[in-house]
Structure 1
Amino acid sequence: MYYKNTLLISLVSYSVIFNSVNGDREPPSVIIIGAGAAGIAAASKLFQNGFTNITILEAEERIGGRLYTTQFGGYLVDLGGQWVHGEIGNVAYELAFPLGLLEKDYFTNRIQELYDSSGTLVDQRMTNDILEFYMQISQKNFTEKLNVSIGELATNELNKYLEAHPDWKKNSKGVLQMFEMDQLAIDGADSWFDVSISGTSEFYHSPGDTDINWKERAYGFILDILMKRYPRPEEELPVVKNTLLNTEVALINNKDTSGKKVAVTTINGNTYFADHAIVTTSLGVLKEQHLSLFQPSLSEEKIKAIKALGFGSEAKIFLSFEEPWWTIEATRSGLYFLWKDEDIVQLENDPEKSWLLGLLGFYFVEHKPRLLCGWVSGKHARDMEKLTEQQVFNHTVEALQRFVGEYYNVTMPNGMTRSMWNSNKHFKGTYSYRSMKADADNVWHATLAEPIGGRNPVILFAGEATNPHYFGTVNGAIASGWREADRLIQFYSNLEKVNGSTPS
């Protein structure tokens, strides 16, 4: 019965919108800025509900935004979003899993192999014990502690542990640094002292497997599902053919727009007029360009949120090999790095190689058996991107030899590719998080989602940073695009019900 009712409501909604936007008057026009997950989701839903006059402006030479699937080493790899995190309440999972595209629990019995910078494999019992302790910390309910950072809470608890475990205490700086980089892989900040503990209650974790993979495919395939390219290509929505690539927006003006509600001007001087604009640019771009991008200026409240919410820096480095040199047992975990205290001091004084302090280690990529992927956290990701390809290649090979060369016959990679999110002016980072400044200024992700125009929305906002509970995720971005499409669908549905007419 639920599915029948849902279908009926959908058909009624489509009928109302179709009549509203395809009547005697000109159909409403929508410009979507950004063809990432949020923009593609918004466009797809609008097309499905009878909107026909939609233009997507994309600054990059490809669609996908921070979903970036590319060929490397004979495989499809993700330089951006890679795993589906959770099942219940996760729209990405709900779209892809019924189609047989996802796999859960690829790596079972995960045992993390931890190597220190002297090339020693840390005793597995010690590793298991401290990892279990940190897991207990992360699962504690600290939400009653206001205006406190994750870093403050974590270091307090870890220092107690180090005092009781002398074998770890002698390398306390390295231990704290390792766990900070691990935490920042989740939050993306430059320091875990900048990540607010209140974000743990604001963010909703979807129950279920947290590292669901795409088998031989990659996360970019979700775009094909959204646009109806898959599983029935004949039903593809006209999203791609209404997308203009290499089209960077310079100005969004909702004043004096020659009869339309909003005018969007690109850096090459072209201007597009529409009734509505959906802005899906990253929070990083908004931080840098909000003063010049909007005319009139955004509200003080929205600017305050843009400035205060955090936007992180992360990076990936993929290495390909002729053959795997690691063991089957190792593929259950990955090769994780612990810098010794004296080596940290040395690296901190080496401006070229200091980025290696952010390299957590290398994990194994599901269904891509000849690949390793390194994860770089925080400010170290930005430092890595400043180096040449050859420098990064040399440093990563050196790090592998240093940490695991005594245990494995580390061969020379035959290829490398890396992400460049932080230095790309169209992104300026990876994903948002709740910062200590957001706590201090009492601003929230929901503030970014408020449209300009109120009940008559002219400029709407989507993207992961506008999702109040799933920020920092692909599923959060998709849901935000649907939310803004629904806002316009409801707007015209209400107009039709009130007076049976459509605004020009």
Structure 2
Amino acid sequence: MMIMGGTNIGATLVMVLVALFSLLSFEPMVVEARPPTVIIVGAGMSGISAAKTLSDAGIKDILILEATDRIGGRMHKTQFAGLSVEIGANWVEGVNGAEVNPIWPMVNKLKLKTFLSDYDNLTSNTYKQAGGLYDGATSKAAFEASDELTEFTTKTSISLTAQKKEDISILAAQRLKHQVPSTPIEMAIDYYNYDYEFAEPPRVTSLQNTEPLATFANFGEDLYFVADPKGYESVVYDIAGQFLTVDKTGKITDPRLKLNKVVIEIQHSASGVIVKTEDGSLYRSAYVMVSASVGQWKILALYQFDMSVYTKIFLKFPYKFWPSGNGTEFFLYAHEKRGYYPIWQQLEREYPGANVLLVTVTDDESRRVEQQPDSETKAECMKVLQDMFGKNIPEATDILVPRWWSNKFFKGTFSNWPIGVTRYEYDQIRAPVGRVYFTGEHTSEHYNGYVHGAYLAGIDSANILINCAKRRMCKYHIMPKGT
């Protein structure tokens, strides 16, 4: 029996979850003779983190069902033009602060190649829609105005929270100052401040739950770009290798991990759980931990949680034509259409001599780009680069466009905190339903959207399950709204 808070919202959540995890009559099939205590759905960072936490607590009879042919989830490297690049998570965000980001020691333990991202010189690297760089005075004034606006919205957020006022959007806070970004350069800087971090615009993003941002307030303001042949996903493999059997090559051979197992139905009752996969297999357990993405399970749709879409497009050229050296890694393109190929990164430090650029788009632009041929995307990128650097630049020889939104197992890249959702509703989303538990970066109390959020959420959710399975402390208490 759970304590859900006794509100209409809580009751609605239960009804939605009952619809998702319907008590269906499965056709009789043979299930495993010795069922595990816990089935974990999904082998991304949060699922593997939860599994290790359970194992460390003595619950080793687990079964991990992963829909794809690999572990790591949205941490995924791929080959592009002879390079190993990250199409999903790429940065360790929040380093060198008062607290240690738990991902940072793992990255250093594996000796992954990382590079401090330096955004400090953007005032000298902001380009007009046509006609090259903005002059220094114009660019400096625009960035200073943006800094003042951000300072105002942060103070507004702190004040509203202290007074226990209702949440507003970041855009609403900007309107309070009568300073809504509207010119191409203002919109480009605003995109860099918000969309580049949250993958959705200020009009739909919560003010009180994003300013100040816990990741940077707690762990530090530095960001490190991971560019290593082993891949950022090797962190997940290293965690998995601490409790799953691996062979001499490091390949996971443990029968407790089953790949290509797409979970389609979960039946739960007071006596246990049965999980059905797409191939018709049935698996029985005492509990199930669902770590699949928000986009797949639709649980957070009740609170208008979107799976935002963040797309990193890689382009390779026969030779470099962009500025290089200190202070030139990132540059902005200010277009009249907000979010149109706005943030570029040259990767000369990360991949010396490779002549590769990375451009980021998000939200509607990501969805648009995913639905058109790569040749059209390349042509659009080339036009933007010609606007910045002139007509006589070489044609890109290769392009890589990740398609997270189109992937049926992900339907996006990470969650974004919408307007009006408080810790109260968020805690309800994380709350177990009977023997069904939930984890994932979207259930992280302070760090949704981040790798460390996924890792910490796996630990937190596993501990909730451990309290029930080992200590018979199965009531999940939710603090009253407004506390």
**TM score, norm. by length of structure 2:** 0.78
Deviation at 1:241, TM superposition (A): 4.6
Give the aligned residue type for 2:147: M
Q: CA 1:393–1:279 in structure 2 vs 1: closer, same or farther (change >3 Å)?
A: same
Which residue of 265, 284, 305 maps to 1:273?
284
Which residue of 174, 192, 204 maps to 2:184?
174
Structure 2 residue ranges without an equivalent (≥5):
1-32, 161-165, 474-483
Q: Contact (CA 8 Å) 1:358, 1:381: kept in 2 or not?
A: no
Which residue of 375, 383, 395 maps to 2:360?
375
Deviation sequence 1:49-83 (CA, Å, 0-9, x none): 44333222222232221111112122221111110
SS for the counterpart of 2:39 is strand
Q: CA 1:136–1:239 in structure 2 vs 1: closer, same or farther (change >3 Å)?
A: farther
Which residue of 407, 411, 426 maps to 1:445?
426
The whole-number CA distance in structure 2 between the counterparts of 1:479 and 1:129 is 40
The whole-number CA distance in structure 1 between the counterparts of 2:278 and 2:460 is 28
The whole-number CA distance in structure 2 between the counterparts of 1:275 and 1:238 is 25
Which moves more between the two structures, 217-226 or 421-430?
217-226
Correspondence 1:200 to 2:210: yes
The whole-number CA distance in structure 2 between the counterparts of 1:273 and 1:241 is 16
- State the partner residue of 2:137: 125
**1:260-339 counterparts in 2 under 5 A?**
261-287=272-298, 290=299, 306-329=302-325, 332-339=328-335
Correspondence 1:69 to 2:77: yes
Correspondence 1:187 to 2:198: yes
Q: Contact (CA 8 Å) 2:290, 2:438: kept in 1 or not?
A: yes
Deviation sequence 1:163-210 (CA, Å, 0-9, x none): xxxxxxxxx442443244331222222x42111211125851233243
**What number of residue pairs does the alignment pair up?**
420
- State the partner residue of 2:343: 361
Which residue of 26, 50, 55 maps to 1:42?
50
Which residue of 387, 398, 403 maps to 2:388?
403
Give the aligned residue type for 2:390: G
Deviation sequence 1:298-347 (CA, Å, 0-9, x none): xxxxx6x743334312211111223322232476332311114xxx4xxx
The whole-number CA distance in structure 2 between the counterparts of 1:492 and 1:420 is 39
Larger helix share, 1 or 2: 1
The whole-number CA distance in structure 2 between the counterparts of 1:445 and 1:125 is 44
Q: Contact (CA 8 Å) 1:203, 1:471: kept in 2 or not?
A: no
Q: CA 1:36–1:121 in structure 2 vs 1: closer, same or farther (change >3 Å)?
A: same
Q: CA 1:48–1:101 in structure 2 vs 1: closer, same or farther (change >3 Å)?
A: same
Q: CA 1:141–1:89 in structure 2 vs 1: closer, same or farther (change >3 Å)?
A: farther
The whole-number CA distance in structure 2 between the counterparts of 1:306 and 1:95 is 35
Which residue of 269, 274, 289 maps to 1:255?
269
- State the partner residue of 2:173: 153
Correspondence 1:134 to 2:146: yes
Q: CA 1:419–1:215 in structure 2 vs 1: closer, same or farther (change >3 Å)?
A: closer
SS for the counterpart of 2:219 is coil
The whole-number CA distance in structure 2 between the counterparts of 1:274 and 1:477 is 24
- State the partner residue of 2:18: none
Deviation sequence 1:367-388 (CA, Å, 0-9, x none): 1232211100221111111101
- State the partner residue of 1:54: 62
Correspondence 1:415 to 2:391: no
SS for the counterpart of 1:460 is strand
The whole-number CA distance in structure 1 between the counterparts of 2:405 and 2:175 is 28
Q: Contact (CA 8 Å) 1:317, 1:418: kept in 2 or not?
A: yes
SS for the counterpart of 2:179 is helix
Q: Contact (CA 8 Å) 2:198, 2:416: kept in 1 or not?
A: yes
Q: Contact (CA 8 Å) 2:142, 2:186: kept in 1 or not?
A: no
The whole-number CA distance in structure 1 between the counterparts of 2:143 and 2:407 is 35
Q: Contact (CA 8 Å) 1:286, 1:306: kept in 2 or not?
A: no
Q: Contact (CA 8 Å) 1:196, 1:434: kept in 2 or not?
A: yes
SS for the counterpart of 1:251 is strand
Give the aligned residue type for 2:277: T
Which moves more between the two structures, 89-98 or 275-284?
89-98
- State the partner residue of 2:222: 210
**1:380-391 counterparts in 2 under 5 A?**
380-391=365-376
Q: CA 1:253–1:90 in structure 2 vs 1: closer, same or farther (change >3 Å)?
A: same
Q: Contact (CA 8 Å) 1:29, 1:274: kept in 2 or not?
A: yes
Give the aligned residue type for 2:191: M
- State the partner residue of 2:440: 463
Structure 1 residue ranges without an equivalent (≥5):
1-24, 163-171, 291-302, 345-355, 497-504
